[in-house]
Amino acid sequence: MKDQKTQATPAVRRLAIENNIKLSEVVGTGQDGRILKEDILNFLAKQTGAILPYEVQKTPTPVMAKPTADTPPKEKKPVMAPPAIPQLVFTGIDRTEPLNGFQKAMVKTMTAALKIPHFGYCDEVDLTQLVRLRSELKGLAESRGVKLSYMPFFIKAASLGLLQFPVLNASVDEGCQSITYKASHNIGLAMDTPQGLLVPNVKSVQSLSVFDIAEEINRLQALGSAGQLGTADLTSGTFTLSNIGSIGGTFAKPVILPPEVAIGALGKIQVLPRFNSRDEVVKAHIMNVSWSADHRVIDGATMSRFSNLWRSYLENPAAMVLDLK
């Protein structure tokens, strides 16, 4: 039977065309065999296993490389199939669902956040020396059971900067009548978890080594991916860093997490040409930072001086050693 002769409304035909389905292959359950929208959706669901309007393909399972003359069987290593490209299935149905607890908490926090007059300040940081240092220390940290990323350095440098600029580690009361300078540097890190965006914090960074911070981030990441971050880890933050660069962005416009007064977003580290002090073009590892601060209590000059200090620790990581307690 040809599609043209199949009984179906124009909307159903369009849905079939949009999903590359031949109407002749679909069994109609309507009157006189008429094909209904549900028939198309059921057909699609059978083909793809989809139950939602958008279904993402499952992660590919590792497949074993076939032994060849060059690779003896005992050296078999799992080879990952190419990364799955999400297969989007258009079903034409709007879907409404209630916000979950985490989303509701985000609505509340972000609504309060946008009452704060934000100002932005951006700069770039040359991490060439830090990239070298981290690659030297990564193996050592691993031998002690800890994954060492760049975050512990970013967080420690922020804490050293906050010692000089305590107004950035402060909070303002609701009526904006008083400011409290927080003693501890409880530095939050925005975390992309299966539950959505969460911001656990590393407590008392001022007393921790880079290694201690890495260990703590490992713990928080493990809890975050298991959906087990608890109230103690998620509250009492005093300053936040959001490493959006680990996912891929270069610039961001971060939103302050009340009652804090400042936040920094870190872009991806890129290898770019830059001039050195002898006017030669060199390969450099560059990262952009985007700060947002509460303009009621922080001015641009303070933000700029803090950012310069933070940047100088990261550009000359050996200087951090001098100032560590």
CB of 315 to ligand COA, least distance (A): 15
Q: Is position 295 annotated as part of the catalytic site? A: yes
Q: Is position 299 annotated as part of the catalytic site? A: yes
Q: What is the dihedral of CA 167, 168, 174, 177, to 10 degrees?
A: 20
For residues 5 and 17, what is the distance between their CA atoms, to the nearest angstrom? Answer: 15
Q: Residue 28 in contact with residue 43, Cβ under 8 Å? A: no
Query: What is the SS3 assignment for 299?
Result: coil
The nearer residue to ligand COA, 89 or 188, going by C-beta atoms, is: 188
150 binds ligand COA (CB under 6 A): yes
Binding characters for ligand COA, 245-284, by CB under 6 A (x = yes): xxx------------------x-xx---------------
The nearer residue to ligand COA, 117 or 196, going by C-beta atoms, is: 196
146 binds ligand COA (CB under 6 A): no
The nearer residue to ligand COA, 80 or 183, going by C-beta atoms, is: 80
Q: Which of 19, 20, 22 is nearest to 8 (CA)?
A: 22
For residues 144 and 136, what is the distance between their CA atoms, to the nearest angstrom? Answer: 14
91 binds ligand COA (CB under 6 A): no
Question: DSSP readout, 95-150?
Answer: ------HHHHHHHHHHHHHTTS-EEEEEEEEE-HHHHHHHHHHHHHHHHTT----S
The nearer residue to ligand COA, 35 or 220, going by C-beta atoms, is: 220
Binding site for ligand COA (CB under 6 A): 149-151, 189-192, 197, 217, 221, 242-247, 266, 268-269, 287
Catalytic residues: 295, 299
